[in-house]
A and B are shown apart, each in its own frame.
Chain A
């Protein structure tokens, strides 16, 4: 494949950011800012803009398809997707109608990453039982894939009424919406993605990325075992770009610390230290630094894991909108061209193009 087939995306959860004086800005402003960030992303050549799905006060991404539709009206080329859709608590039929419609208004630019989600706020909110965590995902993935690939659908399951010879509008060309399965490190999820013939999106937010190489190997072996074609593997990781390494570290660290201290309290993790942060930046899964530094780290992980897609969750925590915009500009104008250059010099192992995902889902 040529390096141009590679997909460089941006991911955001629409965090409530702070203004210059450190105060949180209103949620509606966060949502409008995200539209501006996506418009900038297209103008600097980024391939896709992908929005998370959370149900808590620090993130404004609960109805990502609405924000994506607004972006569709302001852009022409950038792909519009999710990162990730919490499929376990969605109705696959409604999800299909939302994204088939987004695909129509955007001229065929919709895409999905579906997963179980690392947070579980949506379960009580929508009346689901966490005890069904595994079974819900399995059943809903099955129905979603049928709706995307093979209408009319005759289907029955445990968690919703059956469908008989059902067509759902609007129609899409077969396999038109690339649908990746997002995985956070569960081997069973890797095998399941392969069984469904869905491209694999790894979410790695800490630790050395090379420890996921066995998961990529498992995915390819499982594809083979289930008689599926070779499919692409993508990576979602966190980062922040500024003109120099020092600036990037200095801006990102306080917000990173704040974000992970909250997570530490909620999840029983240890609180982060500056030393750990620096180690993550140097060897782990934080892509923080100057464009050259970040480009070299991305090119490295692309080669190590044989990736076809890299999504940067740009700016960790409440980093102000202006600095998020600056990161997008540097990622699009400097990091991406430089990664392409580095990969052309020393290509990764052959990997299926991200664009192929569209044909197979």
Chain B
């Protein structure tokens, strides 16, 4: 049993493809465009979502109430306590500011992309031969990092979600070295309304970056 399944409870999701019984919890660090859009999508998919910004919960309370009703604003520390799967959706140049042991044992979805015009020139990220998620994993050594949810425009997480089996369902790749963590993320992707694709190791995940070539990955549908 993986960590995401162990957090079981009694209610099933009221909406979305929440086929399974049991409480679904998701943590999101970052209350910007991606964080709030993902929170809204996850609430619709039946998740109990905790969301944090860079400061106290009150700072983002109104934003969360209006943009992702049903999700809960909290501190980053509480987000980590809230869920076993946490999405990192902060600007790429700011993840260094989070403590390295913050996500110990958690499945950490790296949804960030390094874009020099906005993130500034970061030598480490620019030179990351094994992809930027390897840098993220090195910063959070005790987290189970999976690269995913970085391949669509944030608004497409709303617009392109489709039920399972829909002919125009979009695929999202997930890459990571911890296979249990990858499986947890593929279930998340599926519940959000996308076809999960196991994109291999964290290093292989470099192909999921903006400059990456999908041809480098041997896609294997995992459902």
Cβ of A267 < 8 Å from any Cβ of B? yes
Q: Are A188 and B32 in contact (CB under 8 A)?
A: yes
Partner of B158, one of A186, A211, A218: A211
Q: Are B117 and A266 in contact (CB under 8 A)?
A: yes
CB distance from B60 to the nearest CB of A (A): 8
Q: Are B31 and A187 in contact (CB under 8 A)?
A: yes
Write out, one digit per residue, whether chain B residues 56-97 have a CB within 8 A of any chain A CB (1) or not (0). Answer: 000010110111000000000000000000000000010000
From residue 142 to 171 of chain B, which have CB atoms closer than 8 A to chain A?
A: 153-155, 158-159
Cβ of A217 < 8 Å from any Cβ of B? yes
Cβ of A208 < 8 Å from any Cβ of B? yes
Cβ of A222 < 8 Å from any Cβ of B? yes
Cβ contacts under 8 Å, B133 to chain A: none
Cβ of A214 < 8 Å from any Cβ of B? yes
Cβ contacts under 8 Å, A304 to chain B: none
Partner of B63, one of A120, A208, A218: A218
Cβ contacts under 8 Å, B159 to chain A: 207-208, 211
Cβ of A131 < 8 Å from any Cβ of B? yes
**Binding site of A, secondary structure by majority: helix, strand, loop or mixed?**
helix
CB-CB under 8 A for A218 and B62, given A187-B67, A211-B158: yes
Interface size on B, residues (CB 8 A): 26
In the complex, which residue of chain A has the Cβ closest to the Cβ of B64? A187
Cβ of B118 < 8 Å from any Cβ of A? yes
Q: Are A222 and B210 in contact (CB under 8 A)?
A: no
Please, how many angstroms separate the alpha-carbon atoms of A248 and B32 in the complex?
A: 36
CB-CB under 8 A for A218 and B118, given A130-B93, A211-B158: no
Cβ contacts under 8 Å, A190 to chain B: 63
CB distance from B215 to the nearest CB of A (A): 15
Cβ of B186 < 8 Å from any Cβ of A? no
Cβ contacts under 8 Å, A266 to chain B: 117
Write out, one digit per residue, whether chain A residues 205-229 have a CB within 8 A of any chain B CB (1) or not (0). Answer: 0111001001101100110010000
From residue 289 to 334 of chain A, which have CB atoms closer than 8 A to chain B?
A: none
In the complex, which residue of chain B has the Cβ closest to the Cβ of A225? B62
In the complex, which residue of chain B has the Cβ closest to the Cβ of A185? B33
CB-CB under 8 A for A268 and B113, given A120-B118, A211-B159: yes
Cβ contacts under 8 Å, B31 to chain A: 187-188
Cβ contacts under 8 Å, A269 to chain B: 153, 210
Q: Which of A119, A120, A222, A269 lies at the interface centre, i.e. has the most chain B CB atoms within 10 A of its CB?
A: A120
CB-CB under 8 A for A120 and B117, given A187-B31, A208-B159, A268-B210: yes
Cβ of B36 < 8 Å from any Cβ of A? yes
Q: Are B120 and A222 in contact (CB under 8 A)?
A: no
Q: Are A217 and B117 in contact (CB under 8 A)?
A: no
CB-CB under 8 A for A267 and B66, given A130-B93, A131-B120: no
Please, how many angstroms separate the alpha-carbon atoms of A55 and B155 in the complex?
A: 28
Cβ of B119 < 8 Å from any Cβ of A? yes
Cβ of B211 < 8 Å from any Cβ of A? yes
Please, how many angstroms separate the alpha-carbon atoms of A268 and B150 in the complex?
A: 11
Q: List 25 A-B contacts (CB under 8 A).
A: A130-B93, A130-B120, A185-B33, A186-B32, A186-B33, A187-B33, A187-B36, A187-B63, A188-B31, A188-B32, A191-B63, A206-B153, A207-B155, A208-B159, A211-B155, A214-B67, A215-B67, A218-B63, A218-B66, A221-B62, A225-B62, A266-B117, A267-B115, A268-B113, A269-B210
Instruction: Give B residues with C-beta under 8 Å from A.
Output: 31-33, 36, 53, 60, 62-63, 65-67, 93, 113, 115, 117-120, 153-155, 158-159, 209-211
